[in-house]
Amino acid sequence: MASLDDMPPGWAEENKGPLILKVTTSVTAIALLFTVARIYSRFLSIKRIAIDDILVVCCIVLGVSYVAVSAVAIQYGSGRHVMTLSDEDVSNAVYYSVVSFVPGVLSFVVPKFAVIILLAKILGPSPLHVRAMWLVSGLYGSLAFGMLVINFVQCTPAAAQWGGAPGSCWDRTITVDYALALGVVSAVFDFYLAIYPTVVLCRLQMHWQKKLALASSLGFGYCAGAITIYKCTTLPGLLHIKDFTYAVDDVIIWTNVEGNCILIGACIPTLYPLVRRIFGSSALGGIAPKEENKGTDSNNPPTIGSDPKKRKPVKSTLRYDTTDELESKFVVEERPIIINTSAAHDIEATPSETALTTKESRW
């Protein structure tokens, strides 16, 4: 067995812990800013938060927890060579690395459910399509839960993983193969969540700036899928790994980046009210206030035979907090066609109209 004296100079001082902390804390801080911006934007638009916003908050809590537990593992020696650590430090480093795996996995699983809810709201898919999305989501969630179970039952007792008790463990091939299967499903799911809105976006006619803003959101979905594929290519190397505490950096960093990419992508489409508050109504190619107020009021549309002074205002329905074209619900005031101007006066005196709400055709 090799000793420290046989290692090259500087080998014992190598430490990836600071790099892990810098990357994970920076990416998580960016995701936290987007989460806060999303919640503030929701209060600007609808004065409340919805279930997908709660999921997003849970995601950022999981991401912060993952970084915090990983930081504890780093304090005990995670990121350093196992030969340079005492047996107690090795045991603690491995223990906290295993524990961090729970919020780590959930941090890239839960955001996908928030994205599903968002897409169902703003794209209006058919009921069959919605059921299919939730079915795939449920299967993916079950696979992820199975990965968490394997994480703790692969050794008997579980403490045998970190040297806390004598015991036996499964063949690593079982764990690695299951992780590969989960990774493949996760990558396919990520690309689906990015490709589906891309197809819908290409069919919409909107200002190029709004398309660019939404495309940037979709880009995070593609990045998450690419990161998952990269992680899958590194999994076979775990079969023969011996210096676990030193080689753990790839797993921690890319798991954190993947989860935060999905989280940021879920936040961007909801930030339009905040962007409009900061940059004005003309942000992202919207209508400027002067142009918007010119002519007739958008909440009081003209109708055939109506008198603008006597026309009853029609209340607009609620818009979801994203760019206008994606989820605009138009209210049309139904009035009879008037040929005689005197009849028009009588009808205006006792109006009887109904509001018809029409939505964009579903894809």
| Same domain (yes/no): 175, 299 | no
User: Tens of pLDDT along 189-206?
Assistant: 989 888 888 888 777 776
Residues 218-262: tens digit of each pLDDT: 677 788 889 889 988 888 877 777 888 888 888 899 999 999 998
**What is the rounded average pLDDT of the residues 81-100?**
90
Residues with Cβ within 8 Å of residue 200, at least 6 apart in sequence: 123, 363
Structure tokens at 16: 């990836």
Q: Let me know whether 239 and 354 are in one domain.
A: no
Which residue, among 30, 109, 24, has the nearest Cα to 267 in the 3D structure?
A: 30
- pLDDT tens sequence across 260-303: 998 998 888 888 888 888 877 665 555 444 444 444 444 444 44
What's the pLDDT at 307? 45
- Tokens standing for 124? 């209006």
User: The domain that contains 274 carries what CATH number?
Assistant: 1.20.1070
Position 211 scores a pLDDT of 67
Report which DSSP code applies to 15. B
- On whether residue 252 sits in a domain, the answer given is yes
Amino acid at 31: A
Statement to judge: residues 322 and 354 lie in one domain? yes
For residue 318, report the phi and psi dihedrals to the nearest 5 degrees.
-75, 135
Q: Percentage of residues in the chain with pLDDT exceeding 90? A: 30
For residue 4, being part of any structural domain is answered with no
Contact 82, 232 (CB under 8 A): no
In this prediction, residue 104 carries a pLDDT of 92
Inside any domain, residue 8 = no
pLDDT, tens digit (0-9, with 9 covering 90-100), for 167-188: 888 888 898 899 999 999 999 9
Taking phi over 0 as left and psi of -120 to 50 as alpha, with beta for the rest, 207 belongs to beta
What pLDDT does residue 213 have? 64
Same domain, 353 and 261: no
| Whether the predicted model's global pTM rises above the 0.85 cut | no
Whether residues 348 and 207 fall in one domain:
no
Q: How far apart are CA 141 and CA 250, in angstroms?
A: 23
Q: Which of 279, 303, 329 is the last residue of a domain?
A: 279
Q: Which two tokens stand for residue 288?
A: 């400027």
110 and 29 in a common domain: yes
Q: Are residues 271 and 321 part of one domain?
A: no
Tell me: pLDDT of 111 over 50: yes
Contact 123, 200 (CB under 8 A): yes
Residues 67-75, mean pLDDT to the nearest whole number: 95
Residue keyed to tokens 């997908």: 52
Segments in the chain forming alpha helices (H):
17-45, 51-75, 87-123, 127-153, 172-203, 208-234, 244-247, 249-267, 272-279, 289-293, 341-349
- pLDDT of 343 > 50? The answer is no
Instruction: Name which of 76, 70, 109, 107 is nearest 93 in CA terms.
Output: 76
The kind and range of the H/E element at 355 are strand 354-358
What mean pLDDT value characterizes the chain?
Answer: 76
The closest of 102, 137, 139 to 118, measured between CA atoms, is: 137
Looking at the 3D structure of the chain, how many domains does it have?
2
Rounded to a whole number of angstroms, the CA Rg of the chain reads 27
- Domain membership of residue 7 (yes or no) is no
Please identify which residue in the block is written with the tokens 């999905």.
262
Classified as helix, coil or strand, 359 is: coil
Q: What is the mean pLDDT of residues 315-322?
A: 41
List the domain range (segments joined by +) for residue 247: 14-279
